[in-house]
A and B are shown apart, each in its own frame.
Chain A
């Protein structure tokens, strides 16, 4: 009996019990969907976040207040001692042609005409923000030095803010209300996408001094520092630390580069991907046990048939091959159907949520197919072996 013959016999047997074969397959289908989809989503989020972080600029580092992110459990609550004067000091004393861009963040409600929008990130910045952050203006112009120095109520809005408040009309030159105060729109930023669950385009930029005044705050959220040459980054970071240590203690601030943030994130996301995959794999194992269960039932039910085949001269191995082929066909088909459903799911998902980009990872597919085939073999071996070793006369007498 060659492979083709045993495949034919197996398909015939599977067809004879369509519903049962389908339900057994379903176990594998669900397992494969779980593995492929979860791993793909995890990898998709990872590449998206990686892209966003890299989009921030690889020659960018930041000064945070407090000692956040310094190893595990370093996030002690400290008073924010980072002030605008520290930024000015850095501007005066730093070398390497760095651009120092202090930032203040605050969430607030904004309004244009009758349309209002809650919890929008208001970011107080200096004129060099656009350059330091590598984030250009799409329409109009960015805030200028005069706007900053004169505490002007002017703003530049992100793409999401534009869509919410202005739909398709041109916002440049219009007046919007931020925290109850009227601001003139100077321009619209180009789209920057998501960072984790934060929509970076859902942001309004206003002059930093204006922000500190209307929100009544005198410290900084963080300082962006842009080094024109990537090679200068380590030295520039060292220098920044030294300058700040003149007036602040080691616990009062943290200097951190994007690369460090990225590697920390990648580490977490790898763990998360493996964990998700492992959880999903459990459902595949459950599917495999389903195969074993059904194959065992099938062997018992077809004892007579096995007896007939043995009387006609079937070798033990040929019977084993037949049942093993059946198990592998079920799991392989389940794998293929599962992957097709994954493609359909991703297609629908991206049709309804265009911002949510998930690409099915080839790795996940390969792993799912290999794993499901392995499961068919692994969980099919015992029932198949049982069938092969049946005593011919016992099998023939079985009713």
Chain B
């Protein structure tokens, strides 16, 4: 967590092998990323890391299923099982009935869930989420948090960037950044449960009234 310009996204891009650090090192499974070739970095991004972006970054021309299958195109996942695996992941984010919809036919929350499915499809070691709820309404945002908390409970490591304390309190630990440095690391004492938070929100009918 941290204010704009504190280096949250940059740190995340460096961890995700999208960017290279000018100083310091990142070690993934014993290898420093600065010693890896462009090809090795691409391999790590494909196999070890699942990205979830604020602006979804889905391919506009492809449907949900094809978007989820995109990492397979650049990996060696067995061909015969690709579709089955992609549908399974889509099902786990609750969108198996929308597999044939293009991004512009989906709501913000649904798009982000497709993006999460895409991040999960190759069984990564970590999910890096950069302001995953930044571009969507609070109700859909909580649904995303429910999903991320469930994945976390199931054993997935999730690194989530946010400037919103409410979102941050859904995590086990908050690392505060300021001007490119870690200013504080704290454990969350009263961790929020996204499912309960969602129930606290006024019902949709009440809003329309």
Which B residues are in CB contact (< 8 Å) with A133? Answer: none
- Distance to closest chain A CB from B127 (angstroms): 13
Interface stretch (choices B25-33, B67-75, B157-165, B179-187)? B67-75
Scan residues 297-340 of chain A and give those whose CB is less than 8 A from a CB of chain B: 304-305, 307-316, 318
Q: Are B70 and A312 in touch, CB under 8 angstroms?
A: yes
Whether B59 sits at the interface, judged by CB under 8 Å, is yes
Which A residues are in CB contact (< 8 Å) with B71? Answer: 312-313
Whether B110 sits at the interface, judged by CB under 8 Å, is no
CA distance A307 to B70 in the complex (A): 13
CA distance A396 to B16 in the complex (A): 13
- Interface residues of B, CB < 8 Å — how many? 25
Which A residues are in CB contact (< 8 Å) with B46? Answer: 312-314
Q: Are B13 and A310 in touch, CB under 8 angstroms?
A: no
Q: Are B19 and A393 in touch, CB under 8 angstroms?
A: yes
Tell me whether A316 and B38 are in contact in the complex, defined as CB-CB below 8 angstroms, given that A310-B45, A392-B18, A393-B19 are known contacts.
yes
Whether A1 sits at the interface, judged by CB under 8 Å, is yes
Q: Are B57 and A308 in touch, CB under 8 angstroms?
A: yes
- Distance to closest chain B CB from A308 (angstroms): 5
Q: Are B38 and A1 in touch, CB under 8 angstroms?
A: no
Binary interface encoding of chain B residues 41-53 relative to chain A, with 1 for a CB under 8 A from any of its CBs, else 0: 0111111000101
Which B residues are in CB contact (< 8 Å) with A312? Answer: 45-46, 51, 70-71, 73-74, 118
CA distance A318 to B154 in the complex (A): 34
CA distance A396 to B38 in the complex (A): 16
Binary interface encoding of chain A residues 204-229 relative to chain B, with 1 for a CB under 8 A from any of its CBs, else 0: 00000000000000000000000000
Given contacts A308-B70, A312-B46, 6 further A-B contacts (CB under 8 A): A310-B18, A311-B45, A313-B43, A313-B74, A316-B42, A318-B73
Residues of A within 8 A of B (CB): 1, 5, 9, 12-13, 16, 304-305, 307-316, 318, 392-393, 396
Would you mind naming 19 contact pairs between A and B with Cβ atoms under 8 Å apart?
A1-B73, A1-B74, A5-B73, A307-B57, A308-B59, A310-B18, A312-B46, A312-B51, A312-B70, A312-B73, A312-B118, A313-B43, A313-B44, A313-B45, A315-B38, A316-B39, A318-B73, A318-B74, A393-B19
Residues of B within 8 A of A (CB): 13, 16, 18-19, 38-39, 42-47, 51, 53, 57-59, 61-62, 70-71, 73-75, 118
> What 9 pairs between A and B have smallest CB-CB spacing?
A313-B46, A313-B74, A313-B45, A393-B18, A393-B19, A314-B74, A392-B18, A312-B71, A315-B42
